[in-house]
Amino acid sequence: MRSLRAHRKSDRLPEALSIQPAGVDVHSPERAGAPRLTDNEGMNDMSTLVPVLMCAALTAGAAAAAAASAASFPNPLPPDPTLRVEKLPAKYPAGWAFLNYAGDRIELRNVGSDSREVKAELQARDSTSLLVSDKRPEIYTADTVWSRGVRGTRTDFITIYDSQTLDVTGEIVLPGAKRALITAMEGMFAFTDDQRLALVFNFTPTASVTVVDLVKRQPLGEIEIPGCMLVYPSGQRGFSTLCSSGTLLNVRLDAGGAVAGRTESKPFNQLDADPLFTASAALGGVRYFPSLHGRIQPIDMKSDDVQVLPDWPLVSADEKAANWRPSGWQLIASDDKKFLYVLMQADAEEGTYKDPAGEVWVFNPSTKTRVRRMRLVRPGSSIALTHGTDQLMLVQAGTRLDVYDPQGGALVRSLGLPGLHTRLQMEPVH
Amino acid sequence: MSDSWVSKARLAATASAALAWAGARAPLAQPAHDRGAATAPIGVENAQRAWQNWTLNCQGCHRSDGSGSDATAPGIADTVAKFLLVPGGREYLIRVPGVAASPLSDADLAEVVNWMLWRFDREHLPASFQPYTAAEIAPLRARPLRLEASQMRSALLSGAEAVVHAGAAPAGAMRADAVPAHAVQDGAVPADAVPADAVRDGALPAAAPK
Amino acid sequence: MNQLDRLAEKMLRGFASRTSRRSVFSLLGGFLAGAATLPLLPVARGGEAEGTSPNDPSSGEESPQFSGNPQDPGDRTKCDYWRYCAVDGSLCSCYGGSVTACPPGTEMSPITWIGTCRNPADQHNYIISYNDCCGGVAWGRCACQNNQGDRPIVRPQTNNEVTWCFGTKSQSYTCTVALILGVALDQKK
């Protein structure tokens, strides 16, 4: 098979090693004995350096092994037990994360150590959304298939997986088959009522929300929200949705999933002058939305009395003049404690708001100030922080997942995201 | 400023050619009895602008022919003017979220709604129809409908259908033999930068716009 | 090496048969370090230069398609063709369709999203309808993501991330066309 990169002008690989699929992590386990990427090497062009070293190491290793064999190992290896299947731990370690490849697959990946293994994979067909429970040992995906591949009868369904075995323990078919097909993004699928209920955002292009009971495993009903988009959990049992009139519609649900009450805010989302991104990060029940021109809009969604709080700027006057703006996809994350992490790019202009960003700026919303600024080794589109202690900062940059220390900004390791051709939505485990 | 316009001469030539063509294919013509308001859109200062606003903000979901379905976005063709026949319907048309939340100014919104009523459902326009104005639009769009929108639509529409069938509409409103606006044939106007249907329907004035 | 080749080929096949996602990266040519950002098919490239558009590494595979009309210039298989100023998805010109027609076996959605692009030949701003073709096979060939005039999805008619396959028998995304609807008046944005 010809090299996939044979015609790239920048290809500097030696001839013998030129056959290499694009995007595959060169440190996958089968290359035992190859040198590992250590700290700070990520700044260099790894793709040419490492394969050359690997070639040398493999040649040396093969010669040595041949000499030692017969004498050292008088007995052959025993046969293996068959039909074994790996199981996941009951509590996933904090360095693991779900990576949603937006309609190709969802990977459970160990990003917290240099072994970097893929731990498991979940099916993802079209605009798949993921919810991971920490109240029950279950994982949920909302997905769409057609009975004959790309055509036929459409079925939308929630799959319920056991979090240890990844056995499919249940399925909830969604009435009407009208889920929003908008790629992997926040706001399509959300928990509420302490993860007893799930909310599915529908778009036909009329907007509505399907309420699902995850415990009884059945749909409860549908609530129309014309003129509004996406669902963000708010209050004890309810959701908020962003409306094209620049307002926030807040809906409270009763125990049966029906509407118990609603409020609508005054207009605050400046859809012409400076619209909000729909990506957000939460700290202490307050959800923070960056705007295209560099403000941050906090919305307190802790209680049923949802409050749009005063916004504040992420950029100084000079930075604004240099067109520093938030940029990317899943472009804001929180550390669950105190700080927000926002992907920022200079020289932004019309049409660039989804482009990868070169820096991460860290903000303290209590003081409304920036506390840190970090340059990325490669511009990134999505950012997430792992939970628990020893937090890591994950940045998806093209088909690389760069893992950083969020304090100093040093690159800890870099993983490949093979086959990623579109958005990545990350969900580190709790 | 005007570099995105076709030249005035070209526009006028195209428009009159199109209208002449339309005249030659007579079945499109309005019924002989005077339909007053329905021979041209009223409350529309600039039909080209109205067409553009419809195209950029509404057509994407309501489709270029104004048809619709329960599964997608509600139909406009043959339907939208019916709401004017029942109490509450006139307000409903502005409080519908797609209209209320439109990025258009009050004046532009009034204009495009007036244009849509004529373009897609002129047979149901009452002869007594008073066009929307910016002043009427402003307070209505501040109160968009939400969860109750589709129920309200159903209720109003069944009331309107009853009015239509009972023939109890104001004089001149309902003509059983009226030619529906969307029955206009396609392809009438030579390919040009001027939108074909706006000229064909006469929504675009024959004189060149300013 | 063979193991990795087989792995790569298997990945690509899976990718080819199942991918229906339309949103793709915006690839800034200067920032691509290391691996290619889109998986590339293992076919002979015939030695032609890399794709001319930084947005589309696969564009070197397609033979160019021109309208033949000097008032409508540009290669319709490249992301920088003027009508594609706000396209997010794959170009139907690369799937057996064209700028104005869907590939055989698919269906054009009547429900669409609309943008405005400037024609460099006549300097007019044209209203462009980005209709999706639905019910066919998509795998990221000639994938483009341009966001001129695109805005967050709260105003859906200005957003290109939605799969605009509505009112069609299947909502499985295949590719996107770019139809001229008319000339845009100069209006304040």
Count of H helices and E strands in chain B? 9, 0
| ipTM of the prediction greater than 0.95, yes or no | no
Exposed e or buried b per residue across B125-157, where buried means at least 16 C-beta atoms within 10 angstroms of its C-beta: bbeebebbeeebbeebbeebbbbebeebbeebb
Query: Would you tell me which residues 119-178 of chain A have a C-beta closer than 8 angstroms to some C-beta of chain B?
Result: 178
Count of H helices and E strands in chain C? 1, 8
Strand pairing partners for C162? none
Cβ–Cβ below 8 Å for C35 and A419: no
In angstroms, what CA-CA distances link B126 with A68, B129, B154? 99, 5, 21
From chain C, pick out residues whose CB is under 8 angstroms from the CB of B73: 111
Tell me which fold the domain A144-149+167-267 belongs to. Thrombin, subunit H (2.40.10)
Q: Identify whether the C-beta of residue C43 lies closer than 8 Å to the C-beta of residue C60.
A: no
Cβ–Cβ below 8 Å for B61 and C157: yes
H helices present in C65-186, as ranges: none
The residue of C1, C25, C146 whose CB has the most chain A CBs within 10 angstroms, and thus the best one to mutate to test that interface, is C25
The residue of C151, C171, C175, C187 whose CB has the most chain A CBs within 10 angstroms, and thus the best one to mutate to test that interface, is C171
The residue of A182, A297, A395 whose CB has the most chain C CBs within 10 angstroms, and thus the best one to mutate to test that interface, is A182
How many of the other CB atoms lie within 10 Å of CB of B25?
11
B41 within domain boundaries: no
Give the Cα separation of A134 and A142 in Å (integer): 18
B9 within domain boundaries: no
Amino acid at the residue B8: K
Give the Cα separation of A237 and A242 in Å (integer): 17
Q: What is the pLDDT at residue A33?
A: 41
CATH number where B130 lies: 1.10.760.10
- Name the nearest CA neighbour of A328 among A314, A344, A315, A346: A344
Q: Mean pLDDT over residues B156-180, rounded? A: 66
Cα pseudo-dihedral A42, A335, A418, A100, rounded to 10: -170
| Domains of chain A, residue spans | 144-149+167-267, 272-430
Composition of chain B by helix, strand, coil, percent to 5: 50, 0, 50
- Name the nearest CA neighbour of C2 among A24, A26, A21: A21
From chain C, pick out residues whose CB is under 8 angstroms from the CB of B59: 114, 181
From chain B, pick out residues whose CB is under 8 angstroms from the CB of C155: 103
Q: What is the pLDDT at residue A423?
A: 87
Cα B68 from chain centre: 15
The pLDDT-based confidence of C103 (bands split at 50, 70, 90) is very high
From chain A, pick out residues whose CB is under 8 angstroms from the CB of C5: 1, 19, 21
B52 within domain boundaries: yes
Joined tokens for residue B208: 């060149």
Range in A55-64, C18-27, C165-174 the model is least confident about: C18-27
Beta-sheet strands, E only, within A163-316: 168-173, 189-192, 197-203, 207-213, 218-224, 228-233, 238-243, 248-253, 259-264, 281-283, 286-290, 295-300, 307-308, 312-313
Cα pseudo-dihedral B136, B137, B138, B140, rounded to 10: 100
**Residue B57, min C-alpha distance to chain A (Å):** 12
Cβ–Cβ below 8 Å for B144 and A245: yes
Cβ–Cβ below 8 Å for C19 and A277: no
Q: Identify whether the C-beta of residue C150 lies closer than 8 Å to the C-beta of residue C158.
A: yes
Cβ–Cβ below 8 Å for A356 and C143: no
Q: Per-residue pLDDT tens for B63-75? A: 999 998 878 889 9
Q: What is the pLDDT at residue B201?
A: 47
Name the stretches of chain A with pLDDT < 70: 1-70
Q: Strands across the sheet with C173-176, in order?
A: C107-108, C132-134, C173-176
Query: Residue B195: is the preceding peptide bond cis (ω within 30°)?
Result: no
B187 within domain boundaries: no
Nearest CB among A1, A181, A275 relative to C154 is that of A275
Q: Identify whether the C-beta of residue B143 lies closer than 8 Å to the C-beta of residue B96.
A: no
Residue A413's contacts (CB-CB under 8 Å, 6 or more residues apart) are A37, A42, A111, A114, A116, A403
Residue A60's contacts (CB-CB under 8 Å, 6 or more residues apart) are none
**B-side interface with A, Cβ within 8 Å?**
61, 71-73, 96-98, 100-101, 103, 144-147, 149-150
Q: What is the pLDDT at residue A213?
A: 98
Cβ–Cβ below 8 Å for B147 and A244: no
How many residues would you count in chain A? 430
- Give me the domain span that covers residue B54: 47-173
Is A264 in CB contact (< 8 Å) with chain B? yes
For A203, name the nearest residue in chain B, comparing CA atoms only. Answer: B72
Give the Cα separation of A271 and A268 in Å (integer): 9
Is A271 in CB contact (< 8 Å) with chain B? yes
Residue A240 backbone phi and psi in degrees, to 5 = -120, 150
Q: Which residue has the tokens 């800034």?
A: C28
For A1, name the nearest residue in chain C, comparing CA atoms only. Answer: C42
B122 within domain boundaries: yes
From chain A, pick out residues whose CB is under 8 angstroms from the CB of B150: 224, 226
How many residues would you count in chain B? 210
Cβ–Cβ below 8 Å for B97 and A223: no
Cα C45 from chain centre: 21
Give the Cα separation of C16 and C11 in Å (integer): 8
From chain A, pick out residues whose CB is under 8 angstroms from the CB of B71: 178, 204
**Residue C26, min C-alpha distance to chain B (Å):** 24
Amino acid at the residue B10: R
From chain B, pick out residues whose CB is under 8 angstroms from the CB of C113: 60
Give the Cα separation of C29 and C34 in Å (integer): 12
Q: Mean pLDDT over residues B90-98, rounded? A: 96
The pLDDT-based confidence of B38 (bands split at 50, 70, 90) is low
Joined tokens for residue A315: 């950029």
- The number of distinct structural domains making up chain B is 1
**CATH homologous superfamily of A272-430:** YVTN repeat-like/Quinoprotein amine dehydrogenase (2.130.10.10)
Q: Per-residue pLDDT tens for B108-146? A: 999 999 999 999 999 999 888 999 999 999 999 999 999
For A229, name the nearest residue in chain C, comparing CA atoms only. Answer: C154
User: What SS3 state is found at B170?
Assistant: coil
Is B72 in CB contact (< 8 Å) with chain C? yes
Strand pairing partners for A148? A151
From chain C, pick out residues whose CB is under 8 angstroms from the CB of B194: 182-183
Its sign, for the CA torsion A218, A220, A223, A228, is negative
B30 within domain boundaries: no
B23 within domain boundaries: no
* Long-range contacts of the stretch C62-68 (C-beta < 8 A, 24+): C62/C93, C62/C94, C62/C142, C65/C93, C65/C98, C67/C99
Residue A191 backbone phi and psi in degrees, to 5 = -85, 155
| DSSP single-letter state for residue C59 | G
**Residue C77, min C-alpha distance to chain A (Å):** 18
Cβ–Cβ below 8 Å for A225 and B146: yes
In angstroms, what CA-CA distances link A199 with A218, A231, A276, A336, C138? 12, 7, 22, 23, 29
Give the Cα separation of B130 and B114 in Å (integer): 9
**Residue A66: enclosing H or E segment and its boundaries?**
helix A46-72
| DSSP single-letter state for residue A127 | S
Cβ–Cβ below 8 Å for B4 and C112: no
Q: Mean pLDDT over residues B62-90, rounded? A: 92
Cβ–Cβ below 8 Å for C110 and B59: no
For C56, name the nearest residue in chain A, comparing CA atoms only. Answer: A421
The pLDDT-based confidence of C75 (bands split at 50, 70, 90) is very high
Model pTM score: 0.78
Our CA angle for A54, A56, A61, nearest 5°, is: 90
Give the Cα separation of A204 and A206 in Å (integer): 5
Q: Mean pLDDT over residues C129-156, rounded? A: 90
H helices present in A228-366, as ranges: 317-321
Q: Strands across the sheet with A129-132, in order?
A: A129-132, A138-148, A151-162, A168-173
| Mean pLDDT computed over every residue of chain A | 87
Q: Per-residue pLDDT tens for B49-64? A: 999 999 999 998 899 9
Looking at chain C, which subunits does it touch, using at least 3 CB pairs closer than 8 Å as the criterion? A, B
Give the Cα separation of C12 and A418 in Å (integer): 10
Examine the pLDDT at B41 and tell me if it is beyond 90: no
Of residues A254 and C29, which shows the higher confidence score? A254
Nearest CB among B72, B103, B149 relative to A205 is that of B72
From chain C, pick out residues whose CB is under 8 angstroms from the CB of B61: 111, 156-157, 166
Cα A208 from chain centre: 24
Residue A136's contacts (CB-CB under 8 Å, 6 or more residues apart) are A195, A214
In angstroms, what CA-CA distances link B84 with B98, B104, B156, B170? 18, 22, 10, 11
**Residue C113, min C-alpha distance to chain B (Å):** 5
Show which residues of C are catalytic. 113, 132
How many of the other CB atoms lie within 10 Å of CB of A7?
17
B132 within domain boundaries: yes
Cβ–Cβ below 8 Å for C124 and B3: yes
- Name the nearest CA neighbour of B110 among B147, B143, B139, B145: B139
Does domain C20-183 bear CATH number 2.60.30.10?
yes
Give the Cα separation of A406 and A387 in Å (integer): 12
